[in-house]
Amino acid sequence: MSVNTQLSAPLVSVIIPTYNRPNYLQQALQSAVNQTFKNIEIIVCDNCSDVNPLPIVEAFADERIYFFRHPQNIGMVANIISGFVIARGKYVASLHDDDMWEEDFLAKLIPPLEANSDLAVAFCDHYMITTDGQIDDVLTQECSRVWKRADLKAGIHQPFYQIAVENMSIASANAAVIRKDIIDWEVIPLEVGGSYDLYINYLCSRSGMGAYYHPEKLTRYREHEIKDTMTDNPQINIRKGKNHLFCYEQFINDERIKDIHPHCQQRLIEVHHYLGMNLLKAGQPEAAIAHFKYVLQRKRLSLRAIAALLFAFIRSLFISKLLGEKGYVTEERKQATLA
């Protein structure tokens, strides 16, 4: 990129949320600093890590980097969104502290946005890497196929709510650049939780604007055992399920994306089933029942849901009987007595 082009280039805000991953943070920062597109501000938002990562930031001695440390842990989503709120750029891009960008990521995604003011977002494909940073070719290809980027046509897509919400092709957490002013970042609900990137995709797509897809793999997404995406812990899965439930309940009520309401309704069924199963695993059969009932009412032949509902109901009766025999008073019985 020429000097004159750089001088007239728009400001891009790079948001790097971080928490307790100093080694990965250094790598993510390095990939941001190395961008061939130079007119950037890099906003590092630390969610009150056990060890302050300020020395890592200061070691770069780069005046484009701004460091913000929350005095207490405010939660993952609030930490991420705080960076978007204070960003000054015309465009914003998220880079999680354990991911990395190729050096021409911004250089290849900013020009399409600048050339067409009717684009909300530009995004690309990405590599999958191991904990030690090695590219996993098999997983990379599988990821591109699953999220339907492998055969996605390069160029402009408008409307793109099917790509954004139904196919979830846009990895807005690490592989997208967004026109900042199309989203009111201060009112994103915290209930979206770990599904915040899906919710951002939804907000971009419902704008009526377009999306630009660049098929090259310009970023690297790290998979490791401590990510929520890699766990079978029922408590974590319950949290994830509730996040998805909140999102799809919002989507199903938005007429601007009514063409994919059937997909959203199907996803709601799947999420209720997922929540029910994980509530059972967590020893909460009474809470699971409502989710299985939802599935049964909308999916007549769900034998697995029927079996799980019966199991939850029988277990709930058994526990209630056991507590009753031991003289415990449940909250429901207490309320009935007070009434």
Q: CA distances (Å), 45 to each of 66, 70, 183, 337, in order?
A: 9, 8, 20, 51
Q: CA distances (Å), 41 to each of 62, 114, 157, 183, 222, in order?
A: 10, 18, 28, 19, 23
Place of tokens 């055992």: 225
pLDDT tens per residue across span 125-161: 999 999 999 999 999 999 999 999 999 999 999 999 9
Say how many domains are in the chain.
Answer: 2
- Is it the case that residue 162 has pLDDT exceeding 70? yes
* Closest by CA position to 258, among listed 171, 159, 188: 159
3-state DSSP of 129-186: ECCCCCECHHHHHHHHHHCCCCCCCCEEECCCHHHHHHCCCCCCCCCEEEEHHHCCHH
Under DSSP, the state recorded for 74 is -
* Closest by CA position to 220, among listed 97, 107, 112: 97
pTM: 0.86
Amino acid at 145: R
Query: Are 31 and 139 in a shared domain?
Result: yes
- Is it the case that residue 333 has pLDDT exceeding 70? no
| Confidence band, pLDDT 50/70/90 cuts, at residue 88 | very high
Instruction: Name the residue range of residue 216's domain.
Output: 3-228
Query: Are 168 and 252 in a shared domain?
Result: no
Query: Are 201 and 333 in a shared domain?
Result: no
Contacts of 45 (CB under 8 A, 6+ apart): 15, 16, 17, 18, 68, 70, 79, 80, 82, 83
CATH classification at residue 304:
1.25.40
- Residue 169 φ then ψ, to 5°: -75, -20
CATH classification at residue 33:
3.90.550.10
pLDDT tens per residue across span 56-86: 999 999 999 999 999 999 999 999 999 999 9
- Residue 95 φ then ψ, to 5°: -135, 105
Which of 228, 258, 291 is the last residue in one of the domains? 228
Mean pLDDT of the 84-91 span: 98
| Confidence band, pLDDT 50/70/90 cuts, at residue 330 | very low
Taken as a whole, the chain contains a residue count of 339
Which of 168, 197, 228 is the last residue in one of the domains? 228
